Amino acid sequence: MRLLATLKDIARITGVSVSTVSRALSGKGRISAEKRKKILSVVKQLKYTPNYHARSMVSGATLTVGLVVPDITNPFFGRLTRGVMEFLGNNALVILMDSFRQMDREDILVKKLRDHGAHGIIIGNSRVNDDLVKEISHYIPTVVFDKAYSLENVSCVLLDNIQGAYVATKHLLEVGCQRVIHLAGTPELSVSLDRKRGYETAMKEAGLQPLVYEVGYDKVSGYAAMKKLLSSGKAVDGVFCMNDLVAIGALKAINEFKLKVPEEICVVGFDDTEICELVNPSLTTVHQPAEEMGKIAAKLLTNMINLGASTSRYVLSPYLVIRSSTARRCIK
């Protein structure tokens, strides 16, 4: 890990005192415009960032953990957040930030957490820029979900998404589906690419042509995509969806076309959120232990902060939960 620039480094290079550098950065106190310009030039050159983390540790401030999620309305991320908070209990302040699935916003939020005193950051999505993750990890411990990094000061909590998607697709084939489509997420997320890869592997093993449609991550996206496919007359008898919300949207469209699930079309989701048991028919899905993942992330982060623990890569195995959206179909 590269050494971070300090006030002393800037003072040494510019030939002024540390207090003068501090005044130039804060904008307080008397300092000539020429000297301020010289100091700020060196600050930019060294990519110096004020170390609020160190200040708060010295002052004995409460542990502050930043948690960035892409969509708090998605039940999966709600459960993940709960896991983080349950593990930390009353021993930390958790700053929860929702990026609304906007990559630029996620980058800004992560930088704000770094610059304003977070002792550690948990990134609940792999959309954040790789270079930013590398930069942030130079300053504070970081935990990332759904994407493997080989960086010092970055731990990862992963689900085997390829295997989960493979098992889901194999199940659709085993219950007799022959025209299985995948309503996929967008390609900038590694989790989307992994689930697509698992689906494609299962289809190719069966000698079938993969049919992938990029739709998004919410119910509206799933509904619109499924409605468009059915309106076009596309022959479909199985649907593997990026997540449960997309699957719920697909089920609504299928119902509007008066098609029976699972007799005519089988549907499988991913995540195993609570809503799966509440819809009719109940949704077959791949279980992803969101709360457990949140607790693991919080534990890894606190160990890195408090104990100086080395970084870890924790991989969980998914499994299929079979419900009514596929269970009643007879094997051909």
Read off the pLDDT of residues 56-90 as tens digits, 9 standing for 90 and up.
545 555 789 999 999 999 999 999 999 999 999 88
**238-241 and 180-184 beta bridge pairing:** parallel
pLDDT tens-digit readout, 131-142: 888 888 877 899
pLDDT tens-digit readout, 180-210: 999 999 998 999 999 999 999 999 999 999 9
Tell me which CATH code domain 161-288+320-327 carries.
3.40.50.2300
Mean pLDDT of all residues in 10-34 = 83
User: If you average pLDDT over each of 62-71, 111-120, 293-302, which comes out highest?
Assistant: 293-302
Q: What stretches of the chain adopt beta strand conformation (E)?
A: 63-69, 92-98, 120-123, 142-145, 154-159, 180-184, 211-214, 238-241, 266-271, 284-287, 313-316, 319-321
Tell me which CATH code domain 52-160+290-317 carries.
3.40.50.2300
Task: Show Cβ contacts of residue 82 under 8 Å, excluding neighbours closer than 6 positions.
Answer: 291, 294
Half-sphere exposure of 180 (CA within 13 A, CB side): 30
Phi, psi of 263 (to 5 degrees): -60, -40
CATH 3.40.50.2300 spans which residues of the chain? 52-160+290-317, 161-288+320-327
> How far from chain centre, in Å, is Cα 176?
33
Cα–Cα distance measured from residue 164 to residue 270, given in angstroms and rounded to the nearest whole number:
8
Q: Look at residue 102 in the predicted model and tell me its pLDDT.
A: 86
